[in-house]
Amino acid sequence: MAVLLIATLDTKGTETAFVRDLIHSAGLLTLVIDAGVLQAPHFKPDVSREEVYSAAGTSLNAIQQAGDRGQAIEAAAKGVAKIALDLFGQGKIDGVLGLGGSAGTTIGTAAMRALPFGLPKLMVSTLASGQVRPYVGVRDIVMMPSVVDISGLNRISRTVLSNAAHAMIGMVRKDAPGANATRLASPSVGLEEKPIITATMFGVTTLCVEACRKTMEQNGFEVLVFHATGTGGMTMESFIKDGLISGVLDITTTELADELVGGVLSAGPDRLTAAALRGIPQIISLGALDMVNFGPPDTVPEKFRGRRFYQHNPTVTLMRTTPEENDRLGKEIAEKASAARGPTAVLVPLRGVSAIDAEGKPFWWPEADAAFFQSLRNWISPRVEMIELDMHINDPAFAEAAASKLLAMLGVAR
């Protein structure tokens, strides 16, 4: 067993050696990658900086001659990511640990994001207590604040680095509790060897998704439910792209509304594309597309003054989508569904798409929903089954219809 250590050994060499020695003392091996560029490394690494920049399609000499820090960091991140992925493919690493400030964090986490889910990944960083989404992305990366700068060994840094080393040791040791849990590796291999289904959920679609999940589990599937908060949708799409998923219950496509209108929970323009490209069976519905998400009321952009709002809680403000926005969303979903290479069905709940989009509820607006439904009818391909149900999305019968349709696509007889 070996831990991959990533650091700039000209500026973080002493600290990296300290972590390396702690890992060795536990009986584990290390592979150290030097991503430095300025001074000579503090000790000889297993993978030199020359190899790192070569893997990035350049050379150490060219980087040094350019004298551009941003260029050096970008190349190091690219090279380290390529080398880490190659080492993993060869079965040579069981975990990754990085140390760094802004440059080291950029480099180390680039490698971690290139590696698959389940491989332990820990980044000790001066940036770990701030906005870490650019570094973590959709991977299972643990960010540990360094508390003090990673500049010499002292009573604080020794404690933090010792904790980091022992955390990594615990994650990779085969005799650690829970270490025998199977990592996701293929569509048919997961915990308990069950094929994996993904589903998307919001609080306002919970009843539907929970019922779907129970039905799928009763029929031999493991269900991963993703909270449709932007990061959740992006993570689900990444799992699908990686070939880990057998089918999709995309009940809650609300992130598309945030991307279109400018809310805070967008999953980007590629949301609702991975299953289509992979050709796996997917059920698409319209969950929570009646809303766009913002933070507290004072964070809502001025341009939306006069719109219909609902205060979900003190930190979440929901804005109702309009007929015009729903017309555009209907077209987008129809086009993305129509591009699918595999079995695809769009299930339409004609009596409302969320818990607050129902007769007598705050976001009930039949004309807005009707614009959505008609847009789907106008643009969807004949190859895609559009199933209109005179039900609310949270009706038990709607959940049963969604789960049953996916099971049929997957060849499960009921």
Tell whether the model's pLDDT for residue 181 goes beyond 90.
Answer: no
Tell whether the model's pLDDT for residue 189 goes beyond 80.
Answer: no
- Lowest-confidence segment of 12-16, 273-277, 321-325, 410-414 by average pLDDT: 410-414
Instruction: State the pLDDT at residue 184.
Output: 54
Q: Mean pLDDT score of the chain, rounded to an integer?
A: 93
Q: Where are the beta strands (DSSP E) in 328-378?
A: 344-349
Summarised one tens digit per residue, pLDDT across range 195-207 is 999 999 999 999 9
Tell me the two tokens of residue 266. Answer: 């967008």
Instruction: State the pLDDT at residue 190.
Output: 41
Summarised one tens digit per residue, pLDDT across range 161-179 is 999 999 999 999 865 544 4
- Kindly compute the dihedral angle of the four CA atoms of residues 327, 329, 333, 336, in this order, to the nearest 10 degrees: 110
Distances (CA, A) of 361 to 204, 290, 320, 355, 367: 12, 12, 12, 8, 15
Top pLDDT among 178 and 298 is at 298
Summarised one tens digit per residue, pLDDT across range 47-97 is 999 999 999 999 999 999 998 888 999 999 999 999 999 999 999 999 999
Range 390-398 average pLDDT: 98
Buried b (16+ CB within 10 A) or exposed e, 330-343: bbbbbebbbebeeb
Contact (Cβ atoms closer than 8 angstroms) between residue 123 and residue 143: yes
Range 339-349 average pLDDT: 98
Band of pLDDT at residue 180, cut at 50, 70 and 90: very low
Instruction: State the pLDDT at residue 191.
Output: 43
Instruction: State the pLDDT at residue 182.
Output: 45
Range 111-117 average pLDDT: 94
Residues with Cβ within 8 Å of residue 191, at least 6 apart in sequence: 181, 182, 222
Summarised one tens digit per residue, pLDDT across range 316-332 is 999 999 999 999 999 99
Summarised one tens digit per residue, pLDDT across range 219-257 is 999 999 999 999 899 989 999 998 989 999 999 999 999
What proportion of the chain, given as a percentage, has pLDDT over 90?
86
Band of pLDDT at residue 305, cut at 50, 70 and 90: very high
Question: What domains appear along the chain, each with residue ranges and CATH number?
Answer: 2-172 (3.40.50.12020), 191-409 (3.40.50.12030)
Contact (Cβ atoms closer than 8 angstroms) between residue 284 and residue 384: no
Band of pLDDT at residue 148, cut at 50, 70 and 90: confident
Tell whether the model's pLDDT for residue 357 goes beyond 70.
Answer: yes
Reported as type and span, the H/E element at residue 388 is strand 385-389
Reported as type and span, the H/E element at residue 386 is strand 385-389
Instruction: State the pLDDT at residue 163.
Output: 97
Range 207-222 average pLDDT: 95
Range 187-213 average pLDDT: 82
User: pTM (2 decimals)?
Assistant: 0.78
Top pLDDT among 151 and 381 is at 381
Top pLDDT among 141 and 414 is at 141
Range 22-34 average pLDDT: 97
Top pLDDT among 193 and 18 is at 18
Distances (CA, A) of 257 to 145, 169, 211, 263, 268: 34, 43, 24, 8, 10
Terminal C-alpha separation, the chain: 45
Tell whether the model's pLDDT for residue 183 goes beyond 80.
Answer: no
Measuring CA to CA, which residue among 144, 153, 112 is closest to residue 125? 144
Top pLDDT among 231 and 281 is at 281
